[in-house]
Amino acid sequence: MQNLEHLKAGEEVLVFDVNGSGVGQPPDGWPGTVTKVGAENITVNYGRGRRPTQFKRRTGRAEDGMGQRYVLTADVYEQGKRWSDAERELRKHGVLINRRDRFTPEQMEKLAQLVRELPQEDQAAFQFLEGL
């Protein structure tokens, strides 16, 4: 999770739930606005008819006892999407990346581009990774 110490009242964020669409979450999260910033928590208004929710500034997790909801800034969400898109492209070519490797979205995109540009016969060398 990201650190939200830099957020100020009025800034836009995205709110996600670990259960996603099962609880009516839009694919790109609920748009929300930071309404209050405290020493340890931020308060976010999001989703029609929902009460303002407090999230921990240090982790972005909801302060509701379960922590199923979390907040991301738009730039962090976009970086995650880019990383996942590149990972999906690499998987198509049989390349599996472990998230512990800590590649940045830019590095992932470069890896995907390199694999895409390989001649077809060289791409076959990666196929042994499929199914692991």
Query: Which residue in 35, 40, 68 sits closest to 52, CA to CA?
Result: 35
Q: What is the pLDDT of residue 57?
A: 92
Backbone angles phi, psi at 103, to 5 degrees: -70, 145
- Look at residue 25 and give its three-state secondary structure: coil
pLDDT at res. 32? 95
In 3D space, the residue among 60, 68, 54 whose CA is nearest the CA of residue 5 turns out to be 60
Successive 10-residue mean pLDDT values, the chain, 132 residues:
84 92 88 95 90 91 83 92 90 79 86 84 55 40
Q: What is the pLDDT of residue 131?
A: 41
How far apart CA 111 and CA 116 sit, in angstroms, is 9
- What lies within 8 Å, CB to CB, of 8 at 6+ separation is 34, 37
Secondary element (H or E) of residue 78: helix 74-92
Question: Any idea where the domains of the chain sit in the sequence?
Answer: 12-72, 77-118
Query: Does the predicted TM-score (pTM) go above 0.95?
Result: no
Which pLDDT value is given to residue 121?
67
pLDDT at 129: 45
Residue 126's pLDDT is what? 57
Tokens of 42: 């931020």
Distances in Å between the Cα of 32 and the Cα atoms of 53, 88, 94, 104 are 10, 28, 38, 26
- Helix (H/G/I), strand (E/B), else coil: 120: helix
